[in-house]
Amino acid sequence: MLKMQSTEKSSKNLPEHAKVVIIGGGVIGCSTAYHLAKLGWKDIVLLERAQLTAGTTWHAAGLIESGGFFSETSVEITKYTLELYRLLEAETGLATGYKNVGMITLANTRDRLEELRRVAAFEREYGVELIEISPKKVKELWPLANTDDLLAGFYSPGDGRVNPVDVTMALANGARMGGVQIFEETSVTDFLIKEQRVTGVITNKGEIRADFFVNCAGMWSREIGKLAGVSVPLQPTEHYYLITEPIDGIHADLPVLVDLDKYAYYREEVGGILFGLFEPVSAPWALDGIPKGFSFGEIKPNWDRMMPYVEEAMKRVPILENVGIHKFFCGPESFTPDIGPMMGLAPELDNFYVAAGFNSLGILMGGGAGKVMAQWIVEGVPDVDISEIDIARMMPFENTPKYLQDRAVEILGALFEDGYPNKQFKRARNARKSAFHDRLREAGAYFGVYAGWEYPDWFAPKGVEPKVEYSWGRQNWFDYSAAEHHATRENVTMLDYSVMGKILVQGRDAEKYLNYICANDVAVPVGRCVYTQWLNEKGTIEADLTLTRLAEDKYLILTADGTIPAVQAWLRRHIPDDAHAVITNITSAYSVLNIQGPKSRDFLSSVTSAEMSNDAFPFLSMQEIDIGYSLVKALRVTYVGELGWELYIPTEFSLHVFDTLIEIGEDFGLKHIGLQALNSLRLEKAYRDYGNDIDNTDTPLEVGLGAFVKFDKLGGFIGRDALLRLKESGFRYRMPQFLLKDPEPLLYYGEIIYRDGIPVGHIMSGGYGHTLGASVGVGPVENKGEAVSRDFINSGTYEIDIAGIRYPAEVSLRPMYDPELKRVRC
């Protein structure tokens, strides 16, 4: 029999100690509590400032879907959520309002059609149906919709809606049944912190000591984070829907209708239509702070601002122009700078977790998000790729009010806009510029943005404006980038690589602890550079980086700048406080220029007095060399598969070195390149990109990085035992490289890989291989749960599905370009 407990009110005292304290009783807090209890944890306390759902959850529209996501993590989270909500009533005895009415997403343009076809092909791998239907069929399913301009609809029968309050109450009830104590009207006002751990919360009802803390306070999470010294960059923003009077022909089984191009969705509500808006220019709210006591709150709607969007939305369902509006609702929702939620262990502390910033998807992600959080807390790492959800990906500067407010303006609409490849944010730009920025702009750079850095993506030739025309086909810069690619393969090029993060680890114990953290052996002579992964106890990858030994007691770690908070936190957590090893982020101390290509030696030899020959300056070594008046650290490495050096230049010498290189480079035909060319070049070499091709769910062995794991080194390394077990049991998959036989189609991400007609995985990242002459990509190949041998990979015949059409592909476990590394080691 179902056992229901009432919420603990002020009459009951708070416990003095708990294992976990969860802050916030919205859908996310309740789901986290529910899933922690499911994993068998006891002594869990949830604290809610007002009443459950009083924040944002109470007014959500309740759309739930998994048919529309183009990322494996989102699909896994939403698919689980749907399944959970379907079964929650039976488990908890509380209705959830779950209605499996389906959803139709409209395609009105060729580009949207291509995008949705790609998404549909991707989702099929996950068992999510997204079926292309004709405009006629759309009309049959939604008779009041205007379908005249449609090219197609995409019907996801598994989707639907719930009542967000009921779902949250059911989750809370399920949590209580698992022993969770919930206290309403209990507001967290401060934290007790000792070193890198929170030891307790202070509330209006007293203190609780605890082992773990989870900040699920919705739009208040930023303030709660500040109390604990944790950066939670999110911005409350206005979010609207309207509800009409009842309309003939509108019934409760009507599918949800989504018109991305009109930034609107439509569903039945008490016999009328609820239509919601994702306007492209939205309004950040509560710029001076969330009003005190804001519970079950609404925002006064701004009719003038919203009317143009409302009128546009009405055109899809013309009857809306002639019915009474019963409610024009505006509520606040939290938006993050990159449209991803912020989940996981905060890098600043060792027992403080966050789950916030759900960008208007908190209900439909709620079930899965709670599951992921519980697994993160209990097991240390969840079994989904966290690249796009991990709070540690956020940079501290992103929490400045101006950055948040400027960026938030475009985030709501971005959810509905075309998801073109290489799409860049338009607002809150130019936060971080390398020292070369103005020179590069003059040279025709088109800039992308990564971790706030403006990086050169490609260069427009003289007389051409560096502006992108987005599409799913060859974008306007395709040929320019191809020329940059060829110049790198045939001559010499220069890339502003200042987006590389740099961390120094110094001290007598540096080698000892780094060697235990790294899977490769870093007990190398001074001047050597080592490529390595950092693993967790499960043997999966936490970081992918290089270390260079600068001195007996000094290492330089190079990693993508966006991973700096995670990498620093990992070091701090794995180097004991009393060890003689100091960690310093020196990213801003050096600019980086990456000189690559077969002529790079000749070129650099002409700008330095240093000896650059293979004997004097071997592959994977660093030396200090002179360029003009400056001393720079030159590192002989490559991410493009050619002879080359990365130059680490003291920031104040940046322009001097740059100008010197450009001046002498003229004689060598030195050409600027951008990150698009870099991506094409590295894909031909199948060099892995952490966060794209590989992530926290992969082991180095399965993704082809076994050569960088040193099982026999003295003292072992974190994750060694798990990798040894994996060697015994066999690999779950392998990650070969694919090359399309047809030179026309383009690979980006998510295209399904077929082996002998059976889906076996998807492309993790793809691009055009200008030397190989077709699209190239990497992706895992599985074998229906069986171990995957080299022979299994090599013996198959492969095709890759792009937007529903399958193209034959070649496969290789060795890089298709220069497998012998002849060009790199020369």
Give residues in contact with ligand FAD (CB under 6 A). 23-29, 47-50, 54-57, 59-63, 187-188, 216-220, 224, 239, 241, 331, 333, 356, 358, 360-364
| Distance separating alpha carbons of residues 505 and 553, to the nearest angstrom | 8
Q: Give whichever of 47 and 581 is closer to ligand FAD, judged by the CB atom.
A: 47
Q: Give whichever of 57 and 498 is closer to ligand FAD, judged by the CB atom.
A: 57
- State both tokens at 814: 């060795």
Using an 8 Å Cβ cutoff, are 229 and 354 in contact?
no
| Distance separating alpha carbons of residues 718 and 428, to the nearest angstrom | 39
Closest CB 742 distance from ligand FAD, rounded Å: 39
Closest CB 379 distance from ligand FAD, rounded Å: 22
- State both tokens at 117: 């076809």
Q: Give whichever of 341 and 562 is closer to ligand FAD, judged by the CB atom.
A: 341
At which residue do the structure tokens 């007293």 appear? 206
Using an 8 Å Cβ cutoff, are 563 and 615 in contact?
no
Helices (H), 685-733: 720-729
Closest CB 240 distance from ligand FAD, rounded Å: 6
| Distance separating alpha carbons of residues 166 and 180, to the nearest angstrom | 18
| Distance separating alpha carbons of residues 30 and 7, to the nearest angstrom | 12
Closest CB 419 distance from ligand FAD, rounded Å: 18
Q: Give whichever of 47 and 505 is closer to ligand FAD, judged by the CB atom.
A: 47
Q: Give whichever of 216 and 778 is closer to ligand FAD, judged by the CB atom.
A: 216
Closest CB 358 distance from ligand FAD, rounded Å: 4
Q: Which is nearest to 52 in space by CA: 290, 285, 211, 218?
A: 218
Residue 761 φ/ψ, nearest 5 degrees: 165, -170
Q: Give whichever of 292 and 462 is closer to ligand FAD, judged by the CB atom.
A: 292
Closest CB 55 distance from ligand FAD, rounded Å: 2
Q: Give whichever of 68 and 218 is closer to ligand FAD, judged by the CB atom.
A: 218
Q: Give whichever of 356 and 709 is closer to ligand FAD, judged by the CB atom.
A: 356
Q: Which is nearest to 649 in space by CA: 700, 607, 677, 679?
A: 607
Closest CB 748 distance from ligand FAD, rounded Å: 26
Q: Give whichever of 114 and 410 is closer to ligand FAD, judged by the CB atom.
A: 410
Q: Which is nearest to 36 in space by CA: 58, 18, 16?
A: 18
At which residue do the structure tokens 């082809």 appear? 704
Q: Give whichever of 142 and 241 is closer to ligand FAD, judged by the CB atom.
A: 241
- State both tokens at 110: 């060729």
- State both tokens at 484: 């940059």
| Distance separating alpha carbons of residues 642 and 630, to the nearest angstrom | 25
Q: Give whichever of 24 and 767 is closer to ligand FAD, judged by the CB atom.
A: 24
Closest CB 594 distance from ligand FAD, rounded Å: 41
Closest CB 81 distance from ligand FAD, rounded Å: 9
Q: What is the CA angle 254-260-264, rounded to 5? A: 60
| Distance separating alpha carbons of residues 209 and 624, to the nearest angstrom | 52
Using an 8 Å Cβ cutoff, are 387 and 379 in contact?
no
Amino acid at 103: M
| Distance separating alpha carbons of residues 165 and 23, to the nearest angstrom | 18
Using an 8 Å Cβ cutoff, are 32 and 207 in contact?
no
Closest CB 140 distance from ligand FAD, rounded Å: 25
Closest CB 264 distance from ligand FAD, rounded Å: 13
What is the sign, positive or negative, of the torsion defined by CA atoms of 167, 169, 173, 176? Answer: positive
